Amino acid sequence: EVQLVESGGGLVQAGGSLRLSCAVSGFIFDDDAIGWFRQAPGKEREGVACIRTRYGSRYYADSVNGRFTISNDNAKNTVYLQMNSLKPEDTAVYYCAATPDNPYPTLAQAMYNYWGQGTQVTVSS
């Protein structure tokens, strides 16, 4: 059974940093796509960043490019999202998702088969 568990969320002031972790079990990282998504209150879920675990290819949403960094540790089967220069508009529940059958990273949610339960990130002004 594939499981994704997010951690690292919390409350931070604007301009601060957080690092989210996504621990994946049920399959071993080989050539897979892992993505981070977020959903703010009253808004649709949107893609934030994604990575191809074999080659480290990364893609970011325009709204976070230059502030967020996605990375993976294949030895730990874990993907991280380092979030710097946080803004109040980054407040959301952050989810990680995996698509073991499709290695090409994408911010298209429909391409992901497995999802975590989410972790809350709140940025105060």
**pLDDT at position 39:** 98
**pLDDT at position 91:** 98
**pLDDT at position 103:** 83
Question: Alpha-carbon Rg of the chain, whole angstroms?
Answer: 13
Q: What is d(CA 115, CA 71) in angstroms, rounded to the nearest whole number?
A: 18
Per-residue pLDDT tens digits for 10-57: 999 999 999 999 999 999 898 899 999 999 999 999 999 999 999 989
Residue type, 47: G
pLDDT band at residue 101 using 50, 70 and 90 as cut-offs: confident
pLDDT band at residue 69 using 50, 70 and 90 as cut-offs: very high
Query: Does the structure show a pLDDT above 80 at 104?
Result: yes
| Pairing, β 3-7 against β 18-25 | antiparallel
> CB-side exposure of 23: number of CA atoms within 13 Å?
4
Q: What is d(CA 23, CA 27) in angstroms, rounded to the nearest whole number?
A: 11
pLDDT band at residue 65 using 50, 70 and 90 as cut-offs: very high
**pLDDT at position 100:** 86
